[in-house]
Amino acid sequence: MSTNDIVMSIRDVSKRFGEGCEVCREDTSTLNGNICPNCGTVHAVRDISFDLHEGEILGIVGESGSGKSTLMKMMYFDQENTSGDYYLRSYEEGAENVFDVSSQKKREIRNEQLGMVYQNPLHGLKINFSSMTNIAEKLIAGGSRNVGEMTARGDMFLEKVNIPLSRKFEAPKNFSGGMQQRVQIAKALSNYPPILLLDEVTTGLDLSVQADVLELIKEIQREMGVSMIVVSHDLAIIRMLCDRTMVLLNGEVIESGITDQILEDPQHEYTQQLVYSIL
What pLDDT score was predicted for residue 85?
Answer: 98
200-246 residue pLDDT tens? 988 888 888 888 889 999 999 989 999 999 999 888 889 999 999 99
Domains parsed from the chain with CATH numbers: 3-277 (3.40.50.300)
Full DSSP string of the chain: --GGGEEEEEEEEEEEES---HHHHH-GGG-BTTB-TTT--EEEEEEEEEEEETT-EEEEE--TTSSHHHHHHHHTTSS--SEEEEEETTTGGGTS-GGGS-HHHHHHHHHHHEEEE-SSHHHHS-TTS-HHHHHHHHHHHTT---HHHHHHHHHHHHHHTT--GGGTTS-GGGS-HHHHHHHHHHHHHTT--SEEEEESTTTTS-HHHHHHHHHHHHHHHHHH--EEEEEES-HHHHHHH-SEEEEEETTEEEEEEEHHHHHHS--SHHHHHHHHHT-
C-alpha 266/C-alpha 272 separation (Å) is 5
Model pTM score: 0.93
Which tens digit of pLDDT belongs to each residue from 54-84?
999 999 999 888 999 999 999 999 999 999 9
Which pLDDT band, with edges at 50, 70 and 90, does 48 fall under? Answer: very high
